[in-house]
Amino acid sequence: MNRKKYMGDQRYAKVLEKMDLLGIMDVTTTRQDKNGTVVWKLPIKNNNSGKTNIEVASFSTGYVRNQNSGYSNYQLNKRCQNEPEYFKDYKTTWHDDGTYTQKFTGKYRKFETRGCVLIPIEIDRLEYLISYCLKNYYIKRANQVVEGKYVSQWYHDWSLERANETYSENTGAMARIEDLESQVEVADTRVTNLSLQNEVLQNKLSNAISPTKHQCVANKLYDLENKLATINRISE
């Protein structure tokens, strides 16, 4: 919207003043201006992407639209009930050969649709856009902040920082747990090795003692044999 072009018009001057107060930027291209189109960018992020700002536009066809809140632009005009349309009602008769004939029943079918209230004058469209944006994007978003549906930037940053700290603490704890588990695993391995070494030593000790036990048994047998021989001599 060319500011110099509308500098002398009081209604346009008020629209420009409100745009400045609301931080609205005119991003109309030269080609759009020639076609009677006005495009505004609001200092409010788009809910769908969170990366781009909301843009609204006024068209010489009488429409006002949101330019980037979905896969396609949609009208911001007020809705109205269109005049009903009437269509003749026909009765269809099918024949054995697969053909059919239609006969007017004398009745009509009524169809009702909703449409947009067009705004043919540009300054009216711009004033409507200011009011619509103020109500639906500024005041409504402010109320959602109060209701807790939106949070302030400082609270978002603080929450994100706390989440990162918690993540770091959890990561450190997990690292310590993994280190302790590794130490326990090493200790278990050492205990197993010591058990195996002890078993080997026990086997060696058993083997070392066994000949002595055999010798003791042999000595006892020898003594018993001698005693038996002595008893036999005496008895004779």
Say what percent of the chain tops pLDDT 90: 22
Q: In the predicted model, is pLDDT for residue 2 greater than 90?
A: no
Summarised one tens digit per residue, pLDDT across range 189-215 is 766 666 666 666 666 656 555 555 556
Summarised one tens digit per residue, pLDDT across range 24-77 is 999 999 999 999 999 999 988 877 666 788 899 999 999 999 987 655 678 899
Q: In the predicted model, is pLDDT for residue 85 greater than 80?
A: yes
pLDDT grade, residue 146 (50/70/90)? very low
Q: In the predicted model, is pLDDT for residue 163 greater than 90?
A: no
Identity (one letter) of the amino acid at 143? N
Residue 213 is predicted with a pLDDT of: 56
Say if residues 44 and 24 touch (Cβ distance below 8 Å).
no
Residue 160 is predicted with a pLDDT of: 61
| Pick from 4-18, 29-43, 114-128: least confident | 4-18
Mean pLDDT rounded to a whole number for the chain: 76
pTM as predicted: 0.52
Distances (CA, A) of 91 to 83, 99, 110: 26, 14, 16
Using left for φ > 0, alpha for ψ between -120 and 50, and beta otherwise, residue 160 falls in: alpha
Residue 67 is predicted with a pLDDT of: 86
CB atoms under 10 Å from CB of 191, counted, come to 10
Q: In the predicted model, what is the mean pLDDT of residues 94-116?
A: 86
The residue among 113 and 186 whose pLDDT is bigger is 113
